[in-house]
Structure 1
Amino acid sequence: MPILKDYIEKQAKTSFADLPLNELDIIAINEIGYLSFDELAVATIDETTKIKIKDIDKNDPEDRRKTIYNYLITQERLELFEAIQASQRFEDLTLSHYVNEINKEFEKQFAAMVFTIPSINHVQIVFRGTDDSLIGWKEDFKLTYMSEIPAHRSAIHYVRDYVRNHPDQKIYLTGHSKGGNLALYASSFSLPSVQEKIKKVYLLDSPGIAEELLQRESYMVIRNKLVVVRPQESVVGVMLYCDVKPKVVKSLAFGVLQHKTCNWQVHLEGKLATVPSQTELSLSLEKTFRDWTRQLSKQDLKLVCDSFFDALIASGITSLNAFTFDEKSFMALFKVISSLNSIDQAKKAIMYKSIRQLIHDYTGYRKRDVSEKIQARISNILKKRPNQKLLQR
């Protein structure tokens, strides 16, 4: 079945007048926001830059074969980017307000940018998901015990500043993974004058927010503007809380690899290929994550997160790109595991309790699911065969 790139190529010569902006256009634009434009482009790209996507330096096929792919610059994303560059439909797609920050002191990773299609007055603020930095991944896991992380405040300020400088402009906010969480937070807890400028917020397999924040009046204002999209086997998107029914999409991949939007299946006329619900595994994980965060204290969750990531960083590992299948990487990982064994007994007990709780909750849900299905099947048999006394005993 087709994927995003196939849609972009199929509709390359179709104008927005003939095929209005749709969810696939929005998701494709969001996806190229993962690319490090400050590395791809010959010219310097920063928050003062305004440049058409088609004018960013293009790699010829020979150069692409020499590209060193990494966590952000994947082959699928580059191919999608090149398809957009070659598309007449996106000939005036423009990038501006590019920000890419990693602050080790405050453990913050934040990247955002604005994509504009002037011909249809479309403005889309894209928040990038987690990059390859360990700081970024540690910040992600902080979501389990902190209502607000440093990148949340940056996201609110970013949207506020854009709206302040463009007071008559309506905007879309989008993000995948942690980027969607930033879009959710920024839209939910901005000033009313900012919220009224937001048309829609797309959350693409993104973690939700803390349960208590769902009751805030400012969240309720934005709730009807949320578009939640998850793959069938969602793992990241079922973390934390979101009370908006998701649109569940098919994927070419399996398991956690369904997280990548480049693998999502589409209809070439401009719609996602959807299914009625997530898989049983994904639904079980959703329940498990919620119980885990309810039953463990925030202090316990913080200790687990800090101990693991601090051990990684102390070992000299600062990026996921450092993990390769060679002896050096395995030795570094072994040192991390060894360092966790050296922490004091009280902390170790909490870590083991956390892991046991996660496993217990997950396996408990799976057992209950199986038990309930068996009971339902027996009940159906009894209804169909009421005269068979043997089954009624």
Structure 2
Amino acid sequence: MNNMITYAETMMDSFAVRPFNSVDSLILSWVSYMRFPESMSEIRSWRGMGIRELLCAEYFSEMFADLWNPEGNRQLLFALAASPRFRGITVCGYVEQLDREREKQFSATTFRIGPELSYVAFRGTDDTIVGWKEDFNMAFQCPVPSQEAAVGYLSEAALHTQGTLLTGGHSKGGNLSVYAAAKCAPEIRERIRKIYSHDGPGFQETVLSSEAFQHTLPKVEKTIPQSSLVGMLLENQEDYLVVRSSSVSLWQHDPFSWMVEDGQFCMLSGLTPGAKMRDAALNEWIRNLSEEERERFVDALFEVIAVNGIDTISEFSSGWKKNIPAAFQKVSQLDAETREFVFCALRNLASLRMKNFPELFKVPRSQEPKKSPEPET
């Protein structure tokens, strides 16, 4: 299977020969997930450091902490450092912010591809409970703190770069890139040639109908895998391209599963029928809840998840033997009204799923109860 690692290892053309494309965007978006230690001070400045200088084995455990596929990340970084296409890129302006009180998880990195071309990448949701909570908050809140931070970061990056700007991200990072491009100053927006959203969730209707968003829309290129869930959440007005994934279901959100051939993504004609029905059911359920009900549901959900003082999803998963019973205990401690509301919301989601997936709930003919024979007359 060829993926973005294969592309980085084999693509020898410079950006002058083969212009920047969506596979390049996914690669740099993924690099923005890496956690760069304080000792790499140059990367936090706008002077920056070459992408080859990121090859510091003593920092790998920190750089790849809690990322999908640590070995794949290491292989990708080595490929970028060796590649004539990528090794001349300067990485700069790295910021990382985590604010539990404000429920904010934000990080961004700028890549100077050439003197007149830069790519601004926004990190998607990381492994922190705070990051996941902020994602869910998008269902009832706009802007969330990271969206506001993205506008400020893009504005600052524009001050420290020249010429054309590209921006993008994977997952929540794709949402942030679209929002930042729509809300930045007009003179910055004019410099933006393209906005890449890789399986990024959508927006509330109020954002989609704004003049700034409509002005930005023609520059957005959205790519999603064939069974996308995250990228189809909330309302979507962006056209999207469907990428073939080597994985299944929710695991297709993993960009290492996105297939690449002849220097571009392998495209499909559309989402799978099952994904269309599932996404329709979930979004209908969200629309049927008021903003106050969405907030109440999300707050209750994360009150249950954040048991035993855990800070990351990995902690919850690795300690499942104690965390799952503790979560059930937490549910029982919710006040009766909140508990009933949560169960009612989940029942409504289940009923919508039955409506959209009737074939899953049919009894196979072989298992249908046999009818008694009609009495002979």
- Indicate whether the TM-score tops 0.5: yes
Q: Please name the residue that 1:241 is paired with.
A: 235
Which residue pairs with 1:305 in the alignment? 298
| 1:89 partnered with 2:80 | no
**In the alignment, which of 54, 57, 60 is matched to residue 56 of structure 1?**
54
Aligned-partner SS, 2:321: helix
CA shift in 2, pair 1:67/1:246, >3 Å: closer
Aligned counterpart, 2:265:
272
2:285 is matched by which residue type in structure 1? W
Change (3 A) 1:278 1:114: same
Determine which of 82, 93, 98 is the counterpart of 2:94: 98
Query: In 1, distance between residues paired with 2:63 and 2:157?
Result: 34
The reply on whether 1:5 has 2:1 as its aligned counterpart is no
> Is the alpha carbon distance of 1:64 and 1:134 closer, same or farther for their aligned partners in structure 2, counting shifts above 3 Å?
closer
Give the SS at the match of 2:181: helix
- Deviation at residue 241 of structure 1 after TM alignment: 1.3
1:15, distance to aligned residue in structure 2 (A)? 2.6
Instruction: Quote the offset at 1:29 in angstroms.
Output: 1.5
In structure 2, the residue matched to 1:374 is none
Count how many residue pairs are aligned between Structure 1 and Structure 2.
362
CA distance in 2, matches of 1:291, 1:361: 8
SS of 2:88's equivalent in the other structure is: coil
Structure 2: distance between partners of 1:215 and 1:50: 38
Q: Give how far 1:310 is off.
A: 2.5
> In structure 2, do the counterparts of structure 1 residues 141 and 175 end up closer, same or farther at CA, with 3 Å as the change threshold?
same
**Is the Cα–Cα contact under 8 Å of residues 126 and 174 in structure 1 kept in the other structure?**
yes
Query: Is the partner of 1:196 in helix, strand or coil?
Result: helix
Per-residue CA distance 1:250-269 (angstroms, 9 max, x = gap): 0111111110111100113x
- Match status 1:367 vs 2:358: yes
Q: Would you say the 8 A contact 2:33–2:67 is kept in 1?
A: no
User: Does the CA contact (< 8 Å) of 2:34 and 2:64 recur in 1?
Assistant: no
- 1:127 aligns with one of 122, 131, 139: 122
Q: Quote the offset at 1:76 in angstroms.
A: 1.7
Cα distance in structure 2, aligned partners of 1:234 and 1:91: 32
Structure 1 contact 145–301 (Cα < 8 Å) conserved: yes
Structure 1 residue identity aligned to 2:181:
S
Measured in 1, the distance between the counterparts of 2:244 and 2:167 equals 23
- Residue in 2 that maps onto 1:388: none
Q: 2:195 aligns with which of 191, 201, 208?
A: 201
The aligned runs of 1:1-393 (5 Å cut-off) are: 1-11=1-11, 13-38=12-37, 45-48=43-46, 50-59=48-57, 70-71=66-67, 74-118=70-114, 121-166=116-161, 168-268=162-262, 270-325=263-318, 328-367=319-358
User: What is the distance in 2 between the residues matched to 1:192 and 1:16?
Assistant: 27
CA RMSD of aligned residues (A): 2.5
Which amino acid counterpart does residue 262 of structure 1 have in structure 2? F
Amino acid in structure 2 at the alignment position of 1:352: F
Identity %: 26
Equivalent-residue separation in structure 2 for 1:15 and 1:182 (angstroms): 28
Could you tell which deviates more after superposition, 16-25 or 141-150?
A: 16-25
How far did 1:114 drift? Answer: 0.2
Larger deviation, residues 227-236 vs 16-25: 16-25
Alpha-carbon contact 1:77-1:262 (below 8 Å) kept? no
Specify the SS of the correspondent of 1:181.
helix
Distance 1:319 1:357 in 2: 29
1: CA distance between counterparts of 2:62 and 2:299? 37
CA distance in 1, matches of 2:82, 2:355: 51
Q: Contact 1:71/1:320 (CA < 8 Å) preserved in 2?
A: no
Amino acid of the structure 2 residue aligned with 1:35: M
Q: Secondary structure at the match of 2:44?
A: coil
Q: Which AA in structure 2 matches 1:59? A: A
Separation of aligned partners in 1, 2:181 and 2:117: 18
SS at match of 2:246: coil
Q: Quick check: 1:178–1:207 contact (8 Å CA) kept in 2?
A: yes
Amino acid aligned to 1:339 = K
Aligned to 2:77, what secondary structure does the other structure show?
helix
Residues 29 and 121, structure 2, Cα contact 8 Å, conserved in 1: yes
Write the distance in 1 (CA, Å) between the matches of 2:36 and 2:62. 18
Tell me the secondary structure at the aligned position of residue 236 of structure 2: coil
Tell me how far 1:88 sits from its aligned partner.
1.6
With over 3 angstroms needed to count, the CA separation of the structure-2 counterparts of 1:44 and 1:117, relative to structure 1, is: closer
Q: Distance in 2 between matches of 1:90 and 1:362?
A: 45
CA distance in structure 1 between the aligned counterparts of 2:62 and 2:193, rounded to whole angstroms = 41
Length-normalised TM-score, structure 2: 0.89
**Alpha-carbon shift at residue 57 of structure 1 (Å):** 3.2
Q: Which runs of 5+ in 2 are unaligned?
A: 363-377
Task: Decide which moves more: 333-342 or 44-53.
Answer: 44-53
Q: Distance in 1 between matches of 2:176 and 2:62?
A: 34
How far apart in 2 are the matches of 1:211 and 1:286? 17
Moved more, 96-105 or 157-166: 157-166
Secondary structure of residue in 2 paired with 1:257: helix
TM-score norm. by structure 1 comes to 0.85
**Once structures 1 and 2 are overlaid, which stretch shifts more, 96-105 or 301-310?**
301-310
Q: For residues 35 and 207 of structure 1, do their structure 2 counterparts lie closer, same or farther at Cα, with a shift above 3 Å needed? A: same
Contact 1:238 1:282 in 2 (8 A): no
Contact conserved, 1:38 with 1:46, CA < 8 A, in 2?
Answer: no
